[in-house]
Amino acid sequence: MSETRVHFYQVGSFAVGNRLLSADERTVQSDRRRTNSIDSGHRACQGCGEALGARYALDAAMRATANQLVAVNATGCLEVFSTPFPETSWQIPWLHSLFGNAPAVATGVAAALRVKGRDQVRVVGQAGDGGTVDIGFGTLSGMFERNDDVLFICYDNEGYMNTGVQRSAATPPAARTATTDAVGPDPGNPFGQGKDLPRIAMAHGIPYVATATVADLHDLERKVERAMSLHGARYLHVFVPCPLGWGAASHETIHLARLAKETGIFPVYEAEYGEVTGVSSIRRPVPVTEYLRLQRRYAHLFGHPGRPDVIERLQAMADANIARLGLRGTEEDA
Amino acid sequence: MFQVRFHGRGGQGVVTAAELLAVAAFREGRHAQAFPSFGSERTGAPVVSYCRIDDREIRTREPISAPDAVVIQDVTLIHQVDLFGGLAAAGYVLINTSRTFAELGLGELAARCQPDHLSTCPATELALEHVGRPVPNAALLGGLAALTDQVPLHAIGDALRDRFGPIVGERNLAAAAAAFEHVRAQREVVAGATAD
Amino acid sequence: MLQQIEGSRAIAEAVARCRPEVVCAYPISPQTHIIEAIGVMVKEGALAPCEYINVESEFAAMSVSIGASAAGARAYTATASQGLLFMIEAVYNAAGLGLPIVMTLANRAIGAPINIWNDHSDAMAVRDAGWIQLFAETNQEAADLHIQAFRLAEELSVPVMVCMDGFILTHAVEGVDLLDQDVVDAFLPPYEPRQVLDPEDPVSIGAMVGPEAFEEVRYLAHLRQLDALDRIPVIAAEFAAVSGRASGGLVRPYRLEDADTAIIAMGSVLGTIKDAVDQRRDAGERVGVLGITSFRPFPLEAVRAALAGVERVIVVEKAFSLGMGGVLATDVAMALGTSSLHTVVAGLGGRPITLASLTDMLARARADELATLSFLDLDEGVIARERARMASTRRSGPFAENVLRDLGRPREDHP
């Protein structure tokens, strides 16, 4: 599938001029026939990136499957804020079992659908970063290596937000969490730790791996559609800022997601069968400080004397991402 | 109830021997129960398996501590493992060897057992000859049939064919039949000697 | 057809006749032969349509089963020991969700010390999980119980665990009569789920339930277990009608009429106990046995009724609660409204329970010399020596290894 290039950027803004697109190029969300897989009225915080990401991803998956979709959910914010009965937000068949087993449960659902001859019904598994990179990692890797017919979506907000902002293996270096406090000689999360799950997923050689952010919802929807056009194990890692956990203003969610991508901190790309097939180039390079400054979890890096050395290391990590994936490639071409 | 204990080493078909004997007895309309010594033994380690044969339902689950017959598949176990513990006074012993009990250092055992309840059989050689593999279990079952009269040779043949299919089963049966003849001839010699 | 067959093979054949749709496999002794044999059948296409999934852990085995069952498939898996503990979170979850998964538990001890042999510690560890737990005495009963288990599970929407003694049953070759496919089909209708993930009728399953409803939800799950107390005998009777065999049910009395002494036990040891009881009966002693088939739900009333008139109750169990004592015995005491019974812990980690030891134990009981809690064939000497070692030095080392070293050492008092 060729990428839809959107050229209708407004000056000084990244907002997509959705209304300027032809009807079939517009987002699923702009369509009145969207399914509202996860309905309004749930209990997510103001500015929740995960709620936004899940809504876009699932509605896109619904459109891609003609509404033949089952969702499996790990324990976590998404599960908790969406389900206190009788106010379930789920307008699609939805199953929550445990924190660490969503990939395996999704495998079971897919197996049952296959054995029942209902192959047209597709399965999406979803979890936060804790349920994906930490406690669910074993079942996720098993699902990947068996190439089970599941799209697994990780909504990555870089920590255990449901339990009060603790550190996960997706928490970036230097970030303050409740278990990596901004105290001592090396405040925040240590350097040299953590997992790059999209690359681990690619190492399984599965049909499709992609990253996305809630800043580019066209891109997110397109990747979901691409994923649903394939069979076997597919993985989508969505960057979803958490205003509460990151100490950011709730109106900054989209902005932060965009800065994560534009700084190179969170590279946006896709891969098939272990090989990168496309990257979202940085359009307006920005230093990491622009991203970091907006979040209280990095407040200890700023002020006087601050930690310019740490900021430098974070910048180096972003630069390494940019170099590795050629995120400024199109700029150079230009 | 007739209780048989098989001793051998992992890889010699010790567990299979007990199972085959149970199947043979079952084919004769008797109740039978076979089970291994439940170890996590690897190839070459001492292994024990058990088989009970009875005309009524077998309910007990304990390992056989007082066997009516002991089958030794591997002579290197002699004096290494308590092979004859609990062996009944009129118990049977069948050893895979071409040596004599005395040569194996089992003169004392031979002295306290009934001569016609003791037998040796070159089962490994017979297996090599008829099956082409040094797995003595089928041959020993033939020998055991001749020694104890608990199951007929044709039932052992049925069990072997069930387990290994017609071709390999038939080869194993040939080894068992040869061992059967070997042990029967031995017993005739002993019976003749006793009669004299 | 009656066959001389390995227990595990018999279970695989019985499960196959139940037409499972999703089977998860993860190896752990002593259940492995079951799952291997089913794997062959699936790969041959004999069970089509059936999905056989080689998962990466027992936790995944139960999790995949949960997903499959919630999507409307008949799901089966098997495990033992550490495997059951590794999946325990999902074991509770399956019951909490009311998913009628059937699982074989090839009972095995739990480490440390690591031990692959039989006892009932694994089953006891999940007795409160909300699963129905049925114990098989023989391979015949184990095979029959699996067929009844699917029926029971699906009728009540509750998972069922068929417990069979690892190695002692799973690896024993004995006669098992397997029902013909058409008989099983008539006995076990296709799975009609109470809840299913279906895009045509979307439901949320597994939502958070707060204090306002949690107690009621749990109580409903309890009521389903109580319903099982009614349904288990009915299903066993229906099974007897088509098979001609008494398999399953709540309890199994043996020579309890006029008995003054009763032994209560679960699983394969009942066979050896029956032999011991026959001998004592021949000697004129009024001894009987009560086998517990349904451990969860626990048949309080059936146990009470079966033991009416019995003066001396001895519970022989292959597990115990450290620091307390018998587990099964506690339930029996609850049934009888008395705590004056004897708990005999036996067969831990595969130690053989012999006719001789049982006979000796019965003699001590009749002579009023049996303690409230005792351990069959316990080697007091090795315990005393290790306790002395521990008292003599702080760094006495790992005690399991010390015991092994002690037992392996040639000594005058320990030939």
Written as one string, the DSSP assignment of C59-116 is HHHHHHHHHHHHTT--EEEEE-HHHHHHTHHHHHHHHHHT---EEEEEE---PSSP--
Report the residue from A90, A101, A109 with minimal CB separation from C60.
A101
Q: Name the phi and psi angles at C336, rounded to 5.
A: -90, -15
> Which residues does residue B9 pair with via DSSP β-bridges, in sequence order?
B46
Burial class (CB in 10 A: 0-12, 13-18, 19+), C270: buried
- How many structural domains compose chain B? 1
pLDDT value of position A198: 98
CA distance B17 to chain C (A): 11
Q: Do A116 and C71 touch (CB under 8 A)?
A: yes
Q: Do A68 and C50 touch (CB under 8 A)?
A: no
Residue the block writes with tokens 């048949």? C299
Pairwise CA distance, residues C377 & A305, whole Å: 73
Which of chain C's residues have a Cβ under 8 Å away from the Cβ of B65? 354
If one compares A305 and A84, the residue with the highest pLDDT of the two is A305
pLDDT in tens, C250-298: 999 999 999 999 999 999 999 999 999 999 999 999 999 999 999 999 9
CB B138 within 8 A of CB B127: yes
CA distance A329 to chain C (A): 40
pLDDT value of position A334: 38
Position A1 confidence tier, pLDDT thresholds 50, 70, 90: low
Average pLDDT over residues A127-149: 98
C253: enclosing H helix or E strand: strand C251-254
Q: Does pLDDT of B152 surpass 60?
A: yes
Mean pLDDT, all residues of chain A: 92
Q: Return all residues near B65 (Cβ < 8 A) that are at least 6 apart.
A: B85, B86, C354
Q: Does pLDDT of B40 surpass 80?
A: no
pLDDT above 70 as % of chain B: 96
pLDDT value of position A212: 98
pLDDT value of position A330: 52
CA distance A278 to chain C (A): 31
Question: Quick one: angle between helices C58-70 and A137-145, nearest 10?
Answer: 70
pLDDT value of position A331: 46
Position C238 confidence tier, pLDDT thresholds 50, 70, 90: very high
pLDDT value of position A16: 52
- Is A9 within a domain? no
Q: What is the pTM of this model?
A: 0.94
Strands of A252-333 (E only): list them: 269-272, 275-279
Burial class (CB in 10 A: 0-12, 13-18, 19+), A305: exposed
Pairwise CA distance, residues B64 & B7, whole Å: 12
**SS3 category, A252:** helix
Report the residue from C4, C118, C168 with minimal CB separation from B22.
C4
Q: Do B38 and C275 touch (CB under 8 A)?
A: no
Instruction: Check which CATH number belongs to the domain holding B72 and give it.
Output: 3.40.920.10
Q: Which of residues 56-95 of C touch A (CB under 8 A)?
A: 56-57, 59-60, 63-73, 75, 89-90, 93
**Of the candidates A190, A133, A130, which has an alpha carbon nearest to the alpha carbon of residue A166?**
A130
Torsion angle, alpha carbons of A182, A184, A190, A191, to 10: 110
pLDDT in tens, C132-150: 999 999 999 999 999 999 9
Amino acid identity, position C70: A
C197 touches chain A (CB under 8 A): yes
Domain of residue A138, residue span: 18-333
Average pLDDT over residues B75-99: 95
Q: Do A95 and C202 touch (CB under 8 A)?
A: no
Q: Do B40 and C29 touch (CB under 8 A)?
A: yes
Are chains B and C in touch, 3+ Cβ pairs below 8 Å? Answer: yes
CB atoms within 10 A of CB A272: 18
If one compares B41 and C68, the residue with the highest pLDDT of the two is C68
Which of chain B's residues have a Cβ under 8 Å away from the Cβ of C165? 61
**SS3 category, C49:** coil
pLDDT value of position A84: 79
Nearest CA in chain B to C267: B61
Query: What are the strands of the beta sheet with C204-205, ordered from one edge?
Result: A275-279, A269-272, A208-213, A234-239, A151-156, A122-128, A69-73, A94-96, C204-205
A131 touches chain C (CB under 8 A): no
Q: Do C66 and A108 touch (CB under 8 A)?
A: yes
Pairwise CA distance, residues A37 & C345, whole Å: 55
Position A114 confidence tier, pLDDT thresholds 50, 70, 90: very high
Q: Do B22 and C173 touch (CB under 8 A)?
A: yes
pLDDT value of position B195: 66
Domain of residue B79, residue span: 2-195
If one compares A24 and A245, the residue with the highest pLDDT of the two is A245
Q: Is the dihedral of CA C194, C195, C196, C201 positive or negative?
A: positive
CB A217 within 8 A of CB A261: no
CA distance B35 to chain C (A): 4
Q: Return all residues near C322 (Cβ < 8 A) that are at least 6 apart.
A: none
Report the residue from C165, C168, C175 with minimal CB separation from B31.
C175
Task: Name the H helices within C204-299.
Answer: 214-243, 269-282
Nearest CA in chain A to C24: A108
pLDDT value of position B114: 93
Q: Does pLDDT of A7 surpass 70?
A: no
Pairwise CA distance, residues B194 & B3, whole Å: 27
Q: Does pLDDT of A50 surpass 70?
A: yes
Buried b / exposed e over C88-115, threshold 16 CB at 10 Å, is bbbbbbbbbbbbbbbbbbbbbbbeeeeb
- Supply the ipTM of this predicted assembly: 0.93
Q: Is the dihedral of CA C242, C248, C251, C254 positive or negative?
A: positive
Are chains A and B in touch, 3+ Cβ pairs below 8 Å? Answer: no
Residues of C contacting chain B (CB within 8 angstroms): 4, 6, 29-30, 116-118, 165, 167-168, 171-175, 268-272, 274-275, 350, 352-355
Amino acid identity, position A22: S
Position A4 confidence tier, pLDDT thresholds 50, 70, 90: low
Q: Does pLDDT of A333 surpass 50?
A: no
pLDDT value of position B163: 95
Q: Do C168 and B61 touch (CB under 8 A)?
A: yes
pLDDT value of position A252: 97
Position C117 confidence tier, pLDDT thresholds 50, 70, 90: very high
**Cα A172 to Cα A11, A291, A294, C384, distances in angstroms:** 32, 13, 15, 55
- Is A12 within a domain? no
- Is A8 within a domain? no
Report the residue from B36, B38, B58 with minimal CB separation from C350.
B38
CA distance A298 to chain C (A): 33
Query: What is the Cα A56 distance to its own chain's centre?
Result: 11
**Domains of chain C, first to last:** 2-243 (3.40.50.970), 251-375 (3.40.50.920), 385-415 (no CATH)
Say how many CB pairs under 8 Å bridge A and C.
Answer: 160
Q: Do C353 and B62 touch (CB under 8 A)?
A: yes
pLDDT in tens, A74-95: 999 999 999 877 789 999 999 9
Which of chain C's residues have a Cβ under 8 Å away from the Cβ of B61? 165, 168, 172, 268-269, 271-272, 353
Buried b / exposed e over C281-313, threshold 16 CB at 10 Å, is eeeeebbbbbbbbbbbbbbbebbeebbeebebb
Q: Do A95 and C49 touch (CB under 8 A)?
A: no
Position C249 confidence tier, pLDDT thresholds 50, 70, 90: very high
Average pLDDT over residues A172-178: 97
**Of the candidates A324, A190, A189, which has an alpha carbon nearest to the alpha carbon of residue A264?**
A324
Average pLDDT over residues C375-394: 97
Mean pLDDT, all residues of chain C: 96
Instruction: Check which CATH number belongs to the domain holding A271 and give it.
Output: 3.40.50.970
Q: Select from C4, C114, C116 the residue whose CB has the most chain B CBs within 10 Å, as the one to mutate to test that interface.
A: C4
- How many structural domains compose chain A? 1
Q: Does pLDDT of A3 surpass 80?
A: no
Nearest CA in chain C to B17: C173
Pairwise CA distance, residues C344 & C329, whole Å: 9
Q: Does pLDDT of C2 surpass 50?
A: yes
Q: Return all residues near B171 (Cβ < 8 A) that are at least 6 apart.
A: B130, B131, B132
Position A2 confidence tier, pLDDT thresholds 50, 70, 90: low
User: What one-character DSSP code corresponds to residue C330?
Assistant: H
Q: Which of A187-191, B43-47, C303-307 has the lowest mean pLDDT?
A: B43-47
A62 touches chain C (CB under 8 A): no
pLDDT above 90 as % of chain A: 84
pLDDT value of position A308: 96
Q: Return all residues near B127 (Cβ < 8 A) that are at least 6 apart.
A: B133, B134, B135, B136, B138, B139, B175
Tokens matching residue A122: 């597709």
Average pLDDT over residues A115-143: 98
**SS3 category, C246:** coil
Instruction: Tabulate helix, strand, coil % of chain B (nearest 5).
Output: 45, 20, 35
